[in-house]
Structure 1
Amino acid sequence: MAPAPEAGGVFALMNVVGLVAFAMVGSLKAADADLDLFGVAVLGVLTALGGGTVRDVLVGRVPGALRSTGDVAVALLGVALAVLLARRVRGRLLDHPLLLAPDAVGLAAFAATGALVGHEAGLSPFGVVALATLTAVGGGSLADVLLSRVPVVLREEFYATPAVLGGALFWLAESVGVDPSAAALGCAGLVLGVRLLALRRGWDLPSP
């Protein structure tokens, strides 16, 4: 149930980008919480691999991280980059561009991989959108739970919505004959653009 050959290159690229970006995000969150180096590494790897693991389990395949060491190695590279960068920054990291930028990139990349896997698994339109969203927000949500925080996706912040929109765009594009690779790139571009715009303009979903 791997992506089709024409989409495999895009999947691999997005997967690497997502792994590095979210490993950095998880590691920076851990550093902000004053965890030790082991805790930083654990949280970074969990954030990077969590969404993809949920994605693979839902479509009935062995998670990529358990089939080869490649995903773990890429995630550890992201952890190392985050550790190097964190030492150059003073003060809180949670609202720093150093964390927000890779978080937006990881959200976009993993939404695209989730949509591709959902498409290749033959899921319904809802399934494709759901898998794109779960892949994008799963790892970060697990990290927030371990840090005793309400996951950002459950708060009023405009976070999961870009992934939903990206998954919907992927399905719409693919359903009218657009190549899955191009649809995945469009998905990633929309998610990244909407997320960055939301951060710039301070968009929030309304709360009750």
Structure 2
Amino acid sequence: MHPRLTLAISIMEAFAIFAYALSGLIEARKRRLDAVGAFLVALATAFGGGTVRDVLLSRRPFYWVEHQEYVLAIFAMSIFAPLFLRLTTRLFDQRALLVTDAIGLGLFSVSGTSIALDAQMPIFTATMMGVTTGVFGGIIRDVLCNEVPLILRDSRPYAVCAFAGCWMYIGLEQFAVEPIYNVLMSTAFILVARLITFKFDIRLPR
């Protein structure tokens, strides 16, 4: 495990993986995909951003290759997901997708920034690696589901929230804030910012 990633950060990253996997399963359900399709969409959503980041940073092996337990867990989720998702309404699907997206966005963006900083990347590059980690899973999910990616069709701030949160993480690190608290605060900022912009329909200028 990377030196900067404490046990707490690892646990939070696990939550992010399952949050993104769930958003992938919800989209797969809406598209009426079978268990195989649901598994592929969930897997790509959960690990797509991190894999792109690792390719750009030349990190090997990929995170999901080292931690097959997550792959197995997503496989199990895909098999039993229809039994759970069948009970939900369209409204709940939309809310669940928003919340799980926001959780994954926050946790992945911050962890991606931390990993890039540990790889001795310049500060701006580290923030972009964080944003990449946070948003690319959702982009791949939407492409697989034959949709224009949410980041392109929704003018509400998405990548901007991740970008700001990554800079917050770097800023707090400069002030020597305890790493665990730094991760918690930066992740919470991205999560709350994303939910607020959606609730109050705050949009970027076109």
TM-score (norm 1): 0.89
Give the stretch that moved more between structures: 69-78 or 141-150. 69-78
Counterpart-to-counterpart distance in 2, 1:111 and 1:89: 29
Aligned to 2:187: 188
Matches for 1:165-176 after TM superposition, within 5 Å: 165-176=164-175
- Aligned residue for 2:55, secondary structure, equals helix
Structure 2: tracts of 5 or more residues without a match: none
Per-residue deviation, residues 5-42 of structure 1 (Å, max 9, x unmatched): 5x321331121011100000011111111212211111
Give the stretch that moved more between structures: 182-191 or 159-168. 182-191
Give the stretch that moved more between structures: 13-22 or 59-68. 59-68
Cα contact 2:35–2:78 (8 A) shared by 1: no
Does residue 163 (structure 1) correspond to residue 165 (structure 2)? The answer is no
Aligned to 2:47: 49
Matches for 1:10-159 after TM superposition, within 5 Å: 10-62=8-60, 63-76=62-75, 79=78, 82-91=81-90, 96-155=94-153, 156-159=155-158
- Aligned residue for 2:132, secondary structure, equals helix
Q: 1:202 to 1:81 in 2, by over 3 A?
A: farther
Query: Aligned AA for 1:162?
Result: C
Aligned to 2:198: 199
Per-residue deviation, residues 33-86 of structure 1 (Å, max 9, x unmatched): 121221111101110011111122222112111223123134335546753431
Q: 1:78 to 1:116 in 2, by over 3 A?
A: farther
Pairwise CA distance, 1:137: 0.5
Q: 1:172 to 1:46 in 2, by over 3 A?
A: same
Say which of 7, 10, 23 aligns to 1:9. Answer: 7
Counterpart-to-counterpart distance in 2, 1:181 and 1:56: 23
- Root-mean-square deviation (CA, aligned residues, Å) is 2.0
Counterpart-to-counterpart distance in 1, 2:9 and 2:64: 15
Query: Aligned AA for 2:187?
Result: A
Counterpart-to-counterpart distance in 1, 2:48 and 2:78: 15
Percent sequence identity over aligned pairs: 28
Counterpart-to-counterpart distance in 2, 1:195 and 1:79: 27
Pairwise CA distance, 1:106: 1.1
Cα contact 2:157–2:194 (8 A) shared by 1: yes
Counterpart-to-counterpart distance in 2, 1:187 and 1:69: 28
How many residues align structurally? Answer: 204
Give the stretch that moved more between structures: 171-180 or 78-87. 78-87
Structure 1: tracts of 5 or more residues without a match: none
Pairwise CA distance, 1:93: 6.4
Dislocated runs of 4+, deviation >3 Å: 74-85, 90-94
